[in-house]
Amino acid sequence: MAGAPRVWRVVGLLCLVVGYSLGQEVLPVDGPVPGDLARDFEVNLTDGRVFSFEQRAVTHRPLVVFVFNASDPFDGAMLGYANGSQEFFALNASLPVDFLFLGSDAESLVYLKNWRAQELQKLPSALALQWASKLMIAAAPVPDLLAHDPTHALLNTLASWTTLTRAIAWSSLDGNWTSTVRLDGRFQYCNVVEWTNHSPSSPTQAWPAAGLQLKLIENPCAPVPENLVSLVGLADLTGHAGCSADEAAQYIMGSNATGVVVMVDDAPSSFPLLGQGSFEDNGLWDGNDDHGFCSAIARHDSLLKQLRNSQAVNMTYVTAPRAGAFIGLDHQGRWAEMGAPINPTLMLLGWQAEFLDYQQRLAQNLSRPALEVPIFTPAIGEQASATVVIPVQASNASLIWLEARMSCQGSFDLDCDMWDHVHTVSVTCDGKPSTSGVGEQDVQASEIGRWVTPYRRRVGHWLTDVTTYGAQLRPGARCQFNLSATDNGSPWVFKLSLRYPLDNDPGLLHGVPVAMNRLFNTSELSTFDGTYNTRDALQIAAPAQLPAGQRRAYLTAIITGHGSMEFVPSNHTFLVNGHAFSVAFLEPLDQMACARRAAEGVEPNGHGAIWFGRDGWCNGMKVDSWLADVTTAIADSNTIEYQAFQYDTGRWVQPNSTDGYMRVTSNLVWVQAP
């Protein structure tokens, strides 16, 4: 792959838990980049087996690799978070993906082996046997493996794909800086200083640059009487049994503190995860990027002494690279990034495994014989237009797919844009009028596909069934495709093509599309407020060339809610001659809905709050088109109406969101039955 690797090595960083020097030089490290073929390697396992990867193999079983470091509290929380472990082992044990865990040192390896034995004992015997085969532990720690083979392909790639360990650093009495690893609370319950998502902009830049004042809270288990604005409160819970870490954090943040640091007696592998069982609506963060930080650290007597002596203590949030902890191999034997480890859970690995399996199934689907018509090869940036003539060979296909790939310039995820925006493609065939540009809040009537960009991931690849557009995309038609996207300085690279499978798959329509009527779309009305449902009914005549006995009809719609409607369910009802056909998007009620769709193609572990369910969409995913068979409701002359509702405490109510909006494209498709 072209492009300079965006991975880092800090020169002079000896040991994070002993000291941290601000302003270290950052150097790029040469090595494999995502998509490169892996070289052969072997790893001896604790059960006597040998894991062997051979590049020359025709097919490869996908692999997820995790290097556990007992000194990093994030890793400890990954293994210790009970809900994450339960969901991880609840994954289908027959999923054709393996897991390889390594210990970063001897202590970490012992911890791993004990943890694996305990987890397998909790499973039914048959399931435990399956997982014992899938979940492999390296027999020796990483330093010993490297000593045996300094050129080891896996370990050398991990060494160049660094992981960022989070820490806080403070100014000590001698004028130097001291640091210690930290475990941030769950993102959205707390704010998290993580350069891969928000600020700072470079991997070793301390945040904030001027530092923050750290103040010791004498009684952390009671409301704090003073105003802590612009301060970070430290709760010393070492030896305290009066309250939990979450309770202490809530008391301190309730006094307007910028952040809170909870000091505990636990080893890093057992730090409390603040906000573990809560969600953002009762958390410590109000959405302000400069507030709401909460972390746990180990006891440091020198820091406590300095604070108790009323010494001014200036602190910053820092990150320090260490050898990579996460990596994958796909079904082609190519290295794969794992995304951002924002919240500690084993499902970081589970979601990636599901996505690797999705990629393998997608490749199998794409291996079917098909006629391919390239459209954007690729398009880079905000606008693109392409005109194609549909080949006559397309007449042999009963299905039509849009194949989309979404990547970015460079080689790594961090080269990509960090925000979620809409990509939309419209089509106009045989000279019918169409607008080439589509504003982000508007949709034109000829929209054929919609996608939402991920938070800094570059592995989007989807198939969208567009057979309902068959009357337009017919053999011989001259069609213009227009792309509208968003460019925040890291433009997306978008490839698009039409695919006509040639294996006689009958598809879902049970016939051949012969006509399409445009219905309601939000280029005319989009704000989801009291005016949204004031549109007129449409009068649609059935195509004269379709005899009633061979006539089928389908409603199709692409619907997504945005703005304040992003996290509010919506319900959309189309009335066809008085018969109701409805679709409801309830995913916003599920805080993990989008994370759990990795098996469907959602790019997992994005550099942001990827997991929340959205109103009809997920970031890093295509938008699925809703399809309803309305054949039994149609007549020669038809009245079509549309209304939508939003969810409010268990009931559907009229739209009332003045700062939310809907993107809707809807059509009535006429099909000639065989």
Contacts of 532 (CB under 8 A, 6+ apart): 525, 644, 655, 662
Is the model more confident about 309 or about 643? 643
Buried b (16+ CB within 10 A) or exposed e, 13-22: beebbeebee
| Tokens representing residue 45 in the block | 């396992």
Identify the DSSP state of 414.
G
d(CA 328, CA 53): 12
* C-alpha distance from residue 121 to each of 80, 114, 116, 118, 170 (Å): 16, 11, 9, 5, 43
Identify the DSSP state of 607.
S
Alpha helix stretches (DSSP H) within 122-171: 125-134, 142-148, 153-160
pLDDT in tens, 135-179: 999 999 999 999 999 999 999 999 988 888 899 999 887 778 899
| Res. 279 pLDDT band, cuts 50 70 90 | low
Identify the DSSP state of 138.
B
Q: What angle do CA 574, 578, 579 make, to 5 degrees?
A: 65
Given a cut of 60, whether residue 434 has pLDDT beyond it is: no
Given a cut of 80, whether residue 494 has pLDDT beyond it is: yes
Average per-residue pLDDT for the chain: 87
* 3-class secondary-structure state, position 296: strand
| Tokens representing residue 83 in the block | 């809900």
How many Cα atoms sit within 13 Å of 366 on the Cβ side? 17
Report all structural domains of the chain as residue ranges with CATH numbers, in order of start.
32-161+323-336 (3.40.30), 171-317 (3.50.30), 368-672 (2.60.120.230)
pTM of the model: 0.91
Q: Among 300-304, 385-389, 498-502, 510-514, which is the least confidently predicted range?
A: 510-514
How many Cα atoms sit within 13 Å of 615 on the Cβ side? 24
| Tokens representing residue 235 in the block | 């709760």
Sheet holding 231-236, edge to edge: 177-181, 163-171, 314-322, 207-217, 231-236, 259-264, 293-298, 183-184
* 3-class secondary-structure state, position 276: coil
Strand pairing partners for 464?
A: 402
Given a cut of 50, whether residue 457 has pLDDT beyond it is: yes
Strand pairing partners for 517?
A: 668
- Percent of the chain exceeding pLDDT 90 equals 67
Report, as an integer, the average pLDDT of 591-618: 94
What is the predicted pLDDT for the residue at 193?
74
| Res. 282 pLDDT band, cuts 50 70 90 | low
pLDDT in tens, 301-328: 999 999 998 777 999 998 888 888 999 9
What is the predicted pLDDT for the residue at 445?
61
Buried b (16+ CB within 10 A) or exposed e, 586-600: ebbeebbbbbbbbbe
Report, as an integer, the average pLDDT of 224-253: 90
d(CA 357, CA 330): 8
Spatial CA neighbour of 232 closest among 247, 220, 222, 244:
220
